[in-house]
A and B are shown apart, each in its own frame.
Chain A
Amino acid sequence: MNALRDILSQGAEMLLVLGLAPLLTGFVRKVKARLLRRRGPPLLQPYRDLIRLMRKDVVLANNASWLFRVIPYLIFAGTWVAASLVPTFGNGLLFSWTADLIAIIALLGSARFFQALAGMDVGTAFGGIGSSREVMIASLAEPAMLITVFSVAMIAGSTQLSNVAEFMGSDAVGLRVSLGMAFVALTIVALAENARIPVDNPATHLELTMVHEAMVLEYSGRHLALIDLSSQLKLLLYVSLIACVFLPWGTATADAGVARLVFGALLYFGKLAVLGFLLAVFETSIAKMRVFRIPEFLGAALMLALLATLLRFVSGSL
């Protein structure tokens, strides 16, 4: 009975993140449009886009290899598994011990590895530029993320995300300088990883500044749909991660009743909406950076994260 409940709740969680991810993206787009005094596409537009893309033929470049056709599924699988390991409205998921935070980051790293390879498969100039810049950004964002995780994990005494969330929700945390730094670092990394302004522009095309879009330029049809869905899942993952580590209130515990679960779910939707709104406000109020300004931006995250970890080493209470 218990096992069945666990499996069901894990399955529900996986479907939930999959179903919610396009909605979050649609919400951010809508808010951005309203802030620019445009009406913007309807909230459900991302779902329609995905369905339409899936129904279309794939147009494959003549010299694309088998790897090019497999990679969308690999990216999707890696991102989906990673996203379903992050607690949303309830802790104590069945497979939460399958992979800790470091493994979640590494899973996203695998997805990015294949994405960058896909950019180089057809042998176009745009694909190469995208992959080359993506690995440059990743070479700073990934360590910043890992070190942020170190500092959070050392405060919580665990790299297991559900334990971290539980600890953060308890009274033992208090106000810490290192947590504040980790929060800023994680936010910067999240912007970079999700190809948001000021690092990359998700709405641009045909520009020499594009990174993510340049890598996926040769994709079409169902392949493109999967890659878009993976990006949306990744955005949801990072927003959920920030929510569960830094806004842990109201997350249902493992043995919670139905009422607590519903309450946790409502609160979770609220957190998503607030963070999505903040993201839209941030994106409309700042300009895209030049490519070689990005290392400074991400370097700041790296240094903050390192400082947070160092503080933690030097003093147990900071």
Chain B
Amino acid sequence: MIAVALWSVAALLALAPAGVVLSTRPRGSIILYGGCLIATSTLCITALSDLLFFPHLTPSATLPIGLPWLGAHFRLDALSAFFLVVVNLGGAAASLFALGYGRHEDSPGRVLPFYPAYLAGMNVVVLANDAFSFLVAWEFMSLTSWAMVVSHHREAENVRAGYVYLLMASFGTLVLLLAFGLLASGAGYDFDAIRASHPSAALSGVVMILMLLGAGSKAGLVPLHAWLPLAHPAAPSHVSGLMSGVMTKVAVYGFVRIVFDLLPEPVWWWSMVVLLVGGPSATLGVLYALMQRDIKRVLAYSTIENIGIIFTGLGLALAFKAEGLDWVAALAFTAAMLHVFNHALFKSLLFFGAGAVLGATGERDMEKLGGLIHRMPKTAFAVLVGCVAISALPPFNGFVSEWLTFQAILLSPQLPSWGLKLIIPAVGGLLALAAAFAAACFVKLYGISFLGRPRSDVAASAHETDRFSLTAMLVLAALCLVAGILPGLFIDALAPVSKSMVGNIMPHQVGLQWLTIVPIAESRSSYNGLLVFLFAALCGTTAATAIHRFASDRLRRAPAWDCGYPDPNPLIQYSASSFSQPIRRVFGGVIFAAREIGEMPPPSSPLPARLKVELRDLIWDALYAPIAKAIGFATDRINILQFLTIRRYLTLVFVALIVLLLVVAL
């Protein structure tokens, strides 16, 4: 098993230098993405069969690379297998999409060599079984993705995004390095040794916080999210899909691996910290998303929301595990893992959809789109499925994982600690708000860009995207539906993961009547996506046939009614900003310090009146701006060192030498 996995990763790594050559060939991108598709599919099938059929085997391997006295350790347990499935399902879908989409790349040389290397990096992070390989692969993944973020380097915005991303990635790696340093102090870098070493409670707490910072900065938890909505949209769309749908999950993997696996039993306050970060991330992320008008940026902000939901689930799992209620911990943990899988599906799908729109119109700004459902019907259908799924609406998959998270929240009055008793209802409220905002956000995204009348010539002359891209999107859409109506299969597949991480599993689901899912007991709660879907389909079709048969099936086309005042100008439609204006007015005043400035020209002036909206990211203002300012201030002061005379440089060298000698002597 692990040999197949490692060979596939090696194949991906070998494709990277080949990409340099292939990028100059006319059909090079097809060969490269085809190769990636084969390698990731192999990895996905391997990991899936491992998860389903041999979950209790943990094959491991050691390669003589890396640190000479350590080598590189790899291990494939249930957790790694599950995340390998997520990474490579996303990777395979992105490669399939890119078979069509990647042909339009302006400068393939800036994407093709990095793409397989990036996939390989993510796989190695998940497979690594020692701190050194983990960190190297992590950094490799960051750097290769950075290279693709700045691939369209002529746009100043992308360069800035790349710069911020690089800084945040270095910060993340630095924090992870500290965490592993603390962990390895007594044991060495091998994960097996760390697992056996039992660090003290205080040390474990510090490592947990560091992991939350390190993994959280990669996953985009508030307040470490600032880079994410800049960097993810800047990359080519299939890479954006990978970064948002998959790389954030690799960060979740890092957190779970260290905190649930390597550290000893959790303490209750760990969960408080995680919940206090997760809940606000969910709500703030989607509120930010609602205020955007760039499709890809909306999707990037919504990633922050979903990561918040995942971390809320993980926080609940930690709380229940700390209090010994490991059967509820299994519920919360499974909910989080299911959301990891679900989000990888629909976020990749939506980014591909945004890519298809971008390819067809050259626009990411929703206010220049509209009416695409007429010109790109298949893309529009796939994106609609993604929008419904991500808004956590039944019968699709997003609802199932949120429903499970809510079920875990409803069990939390059993927790004894008072801090949690006060925080968990608030977090539940934040998740409920996030779910409602998500629906609003995706009504806006879909309604403005796909429905209505075209707002620009490019939108009016758009055309359907190619077959490869469509296949990738439709496969993901189908998976969203399957995971939504047969969630029991997926919950059961996650049982070994939950067993190895929280020590218990959710009740066995497959085999229950009609494939219902029952997380605790039937008297408490149950949900049957299949029956809800069939019921609704039956009601809808019965109504349609009955009405068409017995009442009327005639239809006439006529101009729109619009209360008698139709206006042919498409600008009369609601725009993205005006759609979110009510929500901005209700919530934005505090959260974004939103201000509307009306500029009225003086009477008799022919100038138009203008309305400007100002939104501020208060976290950026309060946290990042001061740090950036302080660094700027310090570098300005140090800068004089660059312009000294040779005498002064010599003096400095001399003084430094004496100080060093003194230090050594003392």
List the interface of chain A (C-beta within 8 A of B).
Answer: 51, 54-63, 65-67, 73-74, 76-78, 80-81, 95, 97-100, 102-103, 106-107, 109-110, 112-113, 116-117, 119-129, 131-133, 135-136, 138-143, 146-147, 150, 153-154, 157-160, 163, 205-206, 217-218, 221-222, 225-226, 291-292, 295, 302, 306, 309-310, 312-314, 316
Contact = CB atoms under 8 A, between A and B. Distances in A.
Contact of A100 (B442, B525, B531, B556): B525
A122 B567 CA distance: 12
Given A132-B582, A147-B429, A292-B586, A120 B440 contact: no
Given A98-B535, A123-B452, A163-B523, A129 B543 contact: no
A110 B384 contact: no
Interface stretch (B248-256, B309-317, B571-579, B606-614): B571-579
Chain B at the A interface: SS class: helix
B566 A124 contact: yes
B92 to A, nearest CB: 30
A3 B426 CA distance: 43
Interface string B409-427: 1101100000001101110
Given A146-B432, A309-B425, A313-B424, 14 more contacts: A54-B552, A59-B558, A61-B560, A76-B539, A77-B535, A77-B543, A97-B516, A99-B527, A99-B528, A103-B527, A107-B532, A109-B391, A126-B562, A131-B579
Contacts of B447: 116-117, 119-121, 128, 131
Contact of A159 (B407, B440, B516, B535): B407
Given A132-B579, A153-B410, A67 B384 contact: yes
Contacts of A62: 557-560
Contact of B452 (A99, A122, A206): A122
A81 B425 CA distance: 29
Nearest to A151: B425
Contact of A132 (B424, B524, B574): B574
Interface in B24-55: none
B140 interface: no
A57 B552 contact: yes
B60 interface: no
The contact size tier of chain B is: 35 or more
B451 A80 contact: no
Nearest to A310: B425
Nearest to A109: B393
Contacts of B570: 123
Contacts of A109: 391, 393, 435-436, 439
Interface string B428-448: 110011011101101110111
A58 B561 CA distance: 13
A128 B578 contact: yes
Contacts of A160: 522-526
Contacts of B388: 110, 113
B399 A106 contact: yes
A60 B556 contact: yes
Interface of B: 370-371, 373-374, 377, 384, 388, 391-394, 399, 403, 406-407, 409-410, 412-413, 421-422, 424-426, 428-429, 432-433, 435-437, 439-440, 442-444, 446-448, 451-453, 516, 522-528, 531-532, 535-537, 539-541, 543-544, 547, 551-552, 554-563, 566-567, 570, 572-574, 578-583, 585-586
Nearest to A65: B373
B552 A313 contact: no
Given A57-B555, A142-B435, A63 B425 contact: no
A193 B367 CA distance: 29
B422 A65 contact: no
Nearest to B518: A97
A98 B412 CA distance: 24
Nearest to B541: A73
Contacts of A146: 406, 432, 435
B586 A295 contact: yes
Nearest to B540: A77
Contacts of A106: 392-394, 399, 403
A56 B558 contact: no
Contacts of A74: 536, 540
Nearest to B438: A139
Contacts of B424: 313
Nearest to B393: A110
A153 B524 CA distance: 9
Contacts of B558: 59-62
B536 A217 contact: no
A109 B388 CA distance: 10
B394 A76 contact: no
A122 B581 CA distance: 20
A239 B432 CA distance: 23
Contacts of B433: 139, 143
Contacts of A81: 532, 535-536, 539
